[in-house]
Chains A and B, each alone.
Chain A
Amino acid sequence: MEALVLSFFQWFWNLFGLWDTLWAIVEPFWTLIWIVMRIVVILIPLLLGVAYLTFWERKIIGWMQVRIGPNRVGPWGLLQPIADGVKLFLKEIVIPTKADGGLFILAPILAIAPALAVWAVVPFFDGGMLANLDAGVLYLLAVTSVGVYGIIIAGWASNSKYPFLGAMRSAAQMVSYEVSMGMALIAVLMISNSLNLSDIVRAQDHGRFADMGLGVLSWNWIPLFPMFFVYLVSGVAETNRAPFDVVEGESEIVAGHMVEYSGMAFAMFFLAEYANMILVSAMVAIFFLGGWLSPVGFLPHGILWLLGKIAVVLFVFLWLRATFPRYRYDQIMRLGWKVFVPLCLVWIPLIGVWMMSPFNIWK
């Protein structure tokens, strides 16, 4: 890939006869430039995806509630997210007098930075990722666990009651559901025998059904169905989405940690939430739904499968939001600690026994 891009640049600048002089300047920094180019190639579609996810969400919820949804800006309302973005961009960021100024600005940055940084290890196709880390899953868990700081600091720095209540709720909720998410992943790591995300996807390409050309039945979601369910639901809770959105429950604490934020600072929290949604969907697709693998033998593997799976899981997120009423706070805590954690604790030894028995299907 790198050689291809280089030869394209060489061809392009040779049209003007500038390649040799340019390359002499650029060569020492080429590695850096190449990394930055790949980051841009990942982030721009991601941010566009975030923008259109908001549009898609409003449309889908509209249809589910027998409404039309946004349809005024551009054809079929397709320019709505652009209009929203411009509006937020032009608004003033109001910093409350009694707020802690530095932390107030830092909070949205801390919210969005981990949400984007995690994408470094996501494999889009075989060999297609920014960093092929052997400890990819650890990196994923470590960076996503930092995301909660944005919300807590926002709640505290606003120096206001509702944001603080929202921050307290989110701290407890996100730490709790991280536990069940991590435990659900332990089962996946056991049967994949690797912490590398690409290896986890490749491990799902083996098995009786994959050899018969029905890869979809060899993916982790069938043998690990309880873990798949735990991970998906914990993912919804971890991103503070409905029905677990007590952090920003409108009817209780207005908008939680975001009450005092306006303009771009608010937009950053919004972007972080939707980027996290796409991330959790990508993780569900990679850990349980075979990543870039094709469900049937006669179609080639590729990035389109991954994108399709992400879209399906995202649809489930939106579907949940349109369907379920909000959980009560103590019910959320109970579900995390008293249902999911014991379920994982039972399923992990079970998988261990299964792997040691003659019926092991992951050899």
Chain B
Amino acid sequence: MDFTTIVFYVFAALAIFAAVRVVTARNPVHAVLYLVLAFFNVAGLWLLLQAEFLAMALIMVYVGAVMVLFLFVVMMLDINIERVRSGFWNYLPLGATIGLLMVAEMAMVLSGKYFGLEALPGHAMAPDYSNTKELGRLLFTDYVYPFELASVVLLVGIVAAVMLTLRHRKDVKHLNPARQIAVKAADRLRIVKMASEKEQGE
């Protein structure tokens, strides 16, 4: 067993452990943190596959931004874990079916030769091969329309999210930053010149 294989098994085992703890952890904040750990290990696996752009993007986008906001929300909520678990037996058949489907799909991918799927050919990369550059070139040449379409969908999502949460309340004391910045000392303060006064009784 060479070094890479050992590293793979360490990452894989940790990823599975973390994924199991995401669903079994009693504290929602702990569950979110286990999800972060799972992301880290998956990023490690992608690095082993020489997909450094995907690995870094996973950490940057999911761990660095999405999960931070997720944690933000989970910490604010007072989640009653008993109530969340109350529907467990009702949802079990549906969950189990989806789980079994995913297991079947994974089995078909992993044992491709029995199901008539060609295993993905391994590529021997040149030493100066840059995953990031190649991905960028493909995205902006061959796949430019799907890529731009995806970004438009995301933009619509952003605008929709803003519109859904935007409420104009009348009783808010709204500040106008431009006016605040434009304020000069003379607008607020008047310096009066006056002769000094004599004290009484002298």
The yes or no answer to B175 lying at the interface (CB within 8 A) is yes
Give bound CA distance, A327 to B65, whole Å.
Answer: 24
Which chain B residue shows the least CB distance to A106? B33
Dominant secondary structure of chain A at its interface with chain B: helix
Give Cα A174 to B68, complex, Å.
10
The reply on A125 being an interface residue by CB < 8 A is no
**Once the chains bind, are A145 and B60 in contact (CB under 8 Å)?**
yes
Taking the complex as formed, is A152 at the interface, i.e. its CB lies under 8 A from any CB of chain B? Answer: yes
Complex: how many Å from CA A146 to CA B177?
A: 32
Report if B71 contacts A (CB, 8 A).
Answer: yes
Interface residues of A, count at CB 8 A: 29
| Alpha-carbon distance between A149 and B63 when the two chains are bound, in angstroms | 9
Contact with B along A175-215 (1 / 0, CB 8 A): 10010000000000000000100000000000000000000
Chain B positions 44 through 88: 1 when the CB is less than 8 Å from some CB of chain A, otherwise 0: 000000001100110110011100110110011000000000000
* B177–A139 CB distance below 8 A: no
B132 beta carbon closer than 8 Å to chain A: yes
A27 CB to nearest B CB, Å = 16
Q: What distance in Å separates the Cβ of A136 from its nearest Cβ neighbour in chain B?
A: 10
**Do A149 and B68 touch (CB < 8 A)?**
yes
A142 touches B59 (CB 8 A): yes
Q: Is the pair B75, A156 in contact by a Cβ cutoff of 8 Å?
A: yes
Within A132-157, which residues are at the interface with B (CB < 8 Å)?
133-135, 138-139, 141-143, 145-146, 148-149, 152-153, 156
Asked if A38 is an interface residue, CB under 8 A from chain B, the answer is no
The answer to the question of B14 belonging to the interface, with a C-beta cut-off of 8 Å to chain A, is no
Given the interface contacts A175-B65, A175-B69, does A141 sit within 8 Å of B60 by beta carbon?
Answer: yes
Please pick, from A100, A138, A156, A167, the residue contacting B132 in the complex, using a CB distance under 8 A: A138
Beyond known contacts A134-B52, A175-B65: 5 more, CB 8 A cutoff: A100-B29, A138-B52, A138-B132, A142-B60, A149-B71
Q: With an 8 A cutoff between CB atoms, is B130 at the interface?
A: yes
Determine if A134 and B132 form an interchain contact, defined as CB atoms under 8 angstroms apart: yes
Whether A152 contacts B71 by the Cβ 8 Å rule is yes
